[in-house]
Structure 1
Amino acid sequence: MRQSPSPSPEQLLAMLEAVIKEAPPLRYEVPLTEGDLRWLGRAEALIEASGAIVALGQFRAARSNLGSYMHSVSDVLAPLHNAYCRVELAAPQALRGAFIPAGETWNGYAALVKLIQKECDDLLLVDPYLSADFFIDLAPHCSARGGVRCLATQRKEYHPALSAAASKWSADPISSDKAIAVRYASSGSLHDRLIIIDRKEAWLITQSFKDVARRSPASVSRAEPEVGRLKAEHYDALWEHSDPIR
């Protein structure tokens, strides 16, 4: 049987982020479900793939202790975080992102600001749940020389405030230096949260901008160059066929 190729550091980062985010409760004296067992198996395989030998031993010990008097969910999760840090250090500098634990909203905000402050000619933000908070929290930090494009989905709970904020921004003198356009894509067409820089460099955000790390862990990671190019082309085309906010 031919051996499957090893995942790249970026792929490992994404998979480790996902498995940490999807961690089951693993409650004491509650039998493990089939889903719990699959998660434990996937987590162990990813730690092993990371090469974190010490973390692998710690994870296996913690897994064996589940249901006993030494039961500890934190002992199960800690090796995963250790493996994540190991893989992140091995990733190319340009591909390193950020993992933001639940509740660390400031770090989540800082990670987004760091990206939108990068000098560039074009900035496209994709978020199906874009709200008026964007104009307060993030818009003032955008540095794209050619302006910022925001692609969202119209939602009745966000539209009135978002439309008003977009109109006020456009009417303010600040818009002469920081032009921002918002368009609504057709319902169901947006599946990513992205920051795309100069139509080629795509950064994947696991949560909507307004919710990053608020209730659950989040991550910000750069897509591989070819994936980034394809996403940029896809959302550029979608932008052209989307309607300006009114």
Structure 2
Amino acid sequence: MEPEVILAQLRALFERAPDFNEYTPTSRDHMTWLGQGHALISRWNRLEASSFQIASDFLPMDSIRDQNVAKIFGVIQRAISDLELTVPNATKTVFGAGEVYDVFRALNRVVASAEMSIFIIDPYLDDSVFNHYLNSRKPGVRVRLLLTKNADQLKPAAEKYIAQYGDFIEIKKTKAVHDRVIFIDGYVCWVLGQSLKDAAKAKPTYLAPLSPDVIPAKLEEYEKIWGDANVI
């Protein structure tokens, strides 16, 4: 996993940290969050991941829980700070006109980072999304595509793709979207300056992670649009 992707994932992880005052050893929310945290830290630094795991293992001990929670958050913050130095322009990656392969690689890294779900909003999405990007999807990851145009072109390609790879895709059409946005696992969001099909072909574009604190509201907005959209 590339540093800019790990950084975006860790920022989102920190923002949605569960309340450790309500921790229990069998809490599913805490176990899921800790597991995701360990997986991300492992991709950054294995020694720090070991420290993260040890602190997690000792959380059931009430007398030293606060100390271990502090260690866990400390590891995450060290990772974020270090990655911000590694990726100094992480807030926005700009691609010049013609840098289509660089955009292709960056978007494939984003798609490949998903563990559960991918939600792509792109008014001008076309069938190139299957060959260019969704081949990077991990097995079992669900995909939703929300578009405005090109539905007639996309539908037959989607049917053939589903026939070969399985029924993991939902596609809807609406006139209510204008942005190009990719949600990963419901808590990481990337914004693209141009449609996936045209990115950097003739004009400069960018790929930027959305600030974690605004992602829930942004996702809620698009979930409402998705609910009202037409199935294709």
1:121-160 to structure 2, matched below 5 A, reads: 121-143=116-138, 145-153=140-148, 155=149, 158-160=150-152
Which of 171, 177, 194 is equivalent to 1:182? 171
Cα distance, 1:144–1:182 mapped onto 2, change above 3 Å: farther
Under a length normalisation based on structure 2, what TM-score does the superposition of the two structures give?
A: 0.59
1:69-120: CA deviation from partner (whole Å, max 9, x where unpaired): xxxxxxxxxxxxxxxxxxx966977954421111010001111101000032
Q: Structure 2: give runs of 5+ residues left out of the alignment.
A: 1-82
SS of alignment partner, residue 116 of structure 2:
coil
- Flag structure 1 segments of 5+ consecutive residues without an equivalent: 1-87
Percent identity, aligned pairs only, is: 27
Bigger radius of gyration: 1
Q: Does 1:169 align with 2:158?
A: no
Q: From the superposition, tell whether residues 94 and 226 of structure 1 become closer, same or farther in structure 2 (CA, over 3 Å).
A: farther
Which residues of 2 match residues 76-95 of structure 1 at below 5 A? 95=90
Kindly indicate whether the alpha-carbon contact (under 8 Å) linking 1:195 and 1:204 is maintained by their aligned counterparts in 2.
Answer: yes
Partners of 2:135 and 2:88 lie apart in 1 by: 27
Are residues 1:235 and 2:226 paired? no
Aligned residue for 1:210, secondary structure, equals coil
> Quick one: which of 110, 116, 137 aligns to 1:115?
110
Task: Check whether the contact 1:105–1:214 (CA below 8 A) recurs between aligned residues.
Answer: yes
Structure 1 counterpart of 2:183, which letter?
I
**Secondary structure at the counterpart of residue 203 of structure 2:** coil
After superposition, the C-alpha distances for 1:26-79 in whole angstroms (9 at most, x for unaligned) are xxxxxxxxxxxxxxxxxxxxxxxxxxxxxxxxxxxxxxxxxxxxxxxxxxxxxx
| Alpha-carbon offset, residue 161 of structure 1 | 1.9
How far apart in 2 are the matches of 1:194 and 1:138? 14
Q: Give me the whole-angstrom Cα distance separating, in 2, the residues matched to 1:239 and 1:91.
A: 36
Q: TM-score, normalised by structure 1?
A: 0.56
In structure 2, the residue matched to 1:207 is: 194
SS at match of 2:197: helix
The count of residues paired between Structure 1 and Structure 2 equals 150
Q: Alpha carbon RMSD of aligned pairs, Å?
A: 2.4
Contact 2:84 2:90 in 1 (8 A): no
Q: Map 1:90-105 to 2 at 5 A.
A: 95-105=90-100
Q: CA deviation at 1:145?
A: 3.3
Q: 1:91 to 1:193 in 2, by over 3 A?
A: farther
One-letter amino acid matched to 1:207 = Q
Superposition misfits of 4+ residues, deviation over 6 angstroms: 88-94
Q: 1:191 aligns with which of 158, 170, 178?
A: 178
SS of the aligned residue for 1:211 comes to: coil
**Shift in Å, 1:159:** 2.7
Higher helix share: 2
Q: Secondary structure at the match of 1:128?
A: coil
What is the alpha-carbon distance in structure 2 between the residues aligned to residue 142 and residue 223 of structure 1? 21
Counterpart in the other structure of 2:55: none
Contact 1:122 1:144 in 2 (8 A): no
Q: CA deviation at 1:146?
A: 3.9
What amino acid does structure 2 have at the position aligned with 1:166? A
- Is the aligned partner of 1:221 residue 2:216? no
